[in-house]
Amino acid sequence: MPRQTLLAREADPARPARYHAVRRLTEALAAPLSEADATLQSMEDASPAKWHLAHVTWFWETFLLRDHLDGYRLYDERWPFVFNSYYEAEGERIARFSRGMLSRPTVADILAWRAHVDEAMQPLLEREELAPLVELGFAHEQQHQELLLTDIKHALFQNPLGPAMWETTPGQAEARTRGWHAHPGGVARIGHQDGGFAFDNEGPVHRVLLEPFALADRLVTNGEWADFIADGGYETASLWLSDGWAWVNENAIRAPLYWHEDEHFTHGGWQARDPHAPVTHISYYEADAFASWAGYRLPTEFEWEAIARGQEGQDAAHDPAGGNQLDEAAPPLPLGSESLFGDCWQFTRSAYLPYPRFQPAEGAVGEYNGKFMSGQFVLKGASCATARGHSRASYRNFFYPHQRWQFTGLRLAKDV
C-alpha cells in the first residue's frame, strides 16, 4: 500500500462484520426508492442513488478483488466505464452529467453485483496486509452513503409534489444561548495524530501559530438566519465577498436551499421549519456574509481542530462520534446538540490546500484527495447524514464556495 494514503489499524477480528454493516447500511438507505427515484440525477454535482450503489462496488472490485484476488474476473467488463468516478489512472469513463441516463443496469442488477462482490471479498478481509486498503473502502463507502442521501434529497426537491422518502415526524430542537470555547493561542499541532485510519489530506502533522480566539459552542440557527434575511442580509452588498455578491445576484439567492416561507424540504417532504434547529444547506458565501452581519467571523480549520482536539490546558477533547450523526436508515435532520460534531458540516475560512510536506499516494488511490486542492474551502465536524464514527478532529471535508446541497452550516468565531 502506498505511503500517506492512510494509516494501518491493528489486527481487527471484527473487520468482516464491519464490512457487512457498512454494505448493509448503503442498501438500506436506498431501499425506500423506486427504480425511477434511484435513476434521477438533478444536477452535475449530484449522482443517481443507483450510481452510488454501483460506484462503491466498483471501488471494492477494482482496488481489492481485481488487484489482490488471484483468478478474479470482473463481474461485467463493461461496467467500469460507467461506474468509475474521476480516477484518470483507471481509464476513460462516462461523462459525469450523463450518469442519470443509465436506465440499465437496473437496481436489481446492481444489487446482484454487490452480493457477488461481497462474497468474493471474504478471504481478503482476513489478510492483514490489505487492512489499510479495506479501511479506505469503508471510509469511501460511508462518504457515498452521505452523498446518496444529499443527492436524492436534491432530486426529490425538484418534484412539485414534495415527495417524502420516509414518513417522519421531526423532533423539536432545544433553544440554546450561545456560549464560547476560548483558546489562549499559541503553537498547536495540526493533522492526524491519533492512530487508526486517516485520509492522506489529514497529514502530515505540522505546527501552526494561533492567536487568541473563541469558537461558538453551538451552530447558527434557522431563527437567527431568518433575522438575517429580515434585516436585508441578501440585499446588503457590504456584507458579501465580491464573488459571493455576484453569485447572489446572478442566481437570485434569497434564502438557504430548500427554504420556502416557514417550511423547508426534508427527506420527509415539506416540514415546518424549527427556528431553534441549526441552519443548513448554505454556501460558503452565505456563511461568510452571515458572520459579517453578526459581527463575528468564520473560524480557520486550525482553530476548529484545536478546540476539537482539546489542546493542553483547554477543555477535554470533543468526541468525534458524538452529536446528531447517522446510525441507521432514517431521515437525517439537524436538531442541534452540545457536540462539536454532527448536525451540519461547518464552514471554515481556510482554503483547501496541502499541508507542509504533503505528498499524495502513488497510483490511482492518490487521486482521492490531492488533485482537488484548488478553489475549495475546508469544512469540519460531521453532519446528520455522516455515518457515526466516520469523522475525527483532523477530518477535512471540502466544497466549492457556491455549493450548498450538502448539510452545511456554520459555527461563529471571534478574536479575543
User: What pLDDT, on the 0 to 100 scale, is given for residue 336?
Assistant: 94
Cα–Cα separations (whole angstroms), residue 51 to 56, 98, 99, 105, 166: 9, 11, 7, 10, 21
Cβ within 8 Å of residue 211, ≥6 positions away:
185, 415
Cβ within 8 Å of residue 120, ≥6 positions away:
65, 69, 72
Closest CA to 296 of 217, 381, 411, 377: 411
Q: What is the mean pLDDT of residues 114-135?
A: 97
> How many angstroms separate the CA atoms of 225 and 344, rounded?
15
Residues 121, 20: contact at Cβ < 8 Å? Answer: no
Q: What is the pLDDT of residues 63-94, one digit of tens each?
A: 999 999 999 999 999 999 999 998 888 989 99
- The arrangement of strands across the sheet holding 413-415 comes to 180-183, 213-216, 413-415
Q: What is the pLDDT of residues 237-253, one digit of tens each?
A: 999 999 999 999 999 99
Mind giving me the DSSP string for 369-393?
SGGG-SS-EEEEE--TTSBTTS--T
> How many angstroms separate the CA atoms of 346 and 288, rounded?
11
> How many angstroms separate the CA atoms of 203 and 195, rounded?
12
**Hunting for cell 448493509 — which residue is that?**
24
Half-sphere exposure of 210 (CA within 13 A, CB side): 28
| Helix residue ranges per DSSP H, 231-309 | 242-250, 284-294, 301-309
Q: What is the pLDDT of residues 248-289, one digit of tens each?
A: 999 999 999 999 999 999 999 999 999 999 999 999 999 999
C-alpha cell at 158: 425538484
Burial class, 113, CB count within 10 angstroms (exposed 0-12 / middle 13-18 / buried 19+): buried
Q: What is the pTM of this model?
A: 0.94
Q: What is the mean pLDDT of residues 2-9?
A: 38
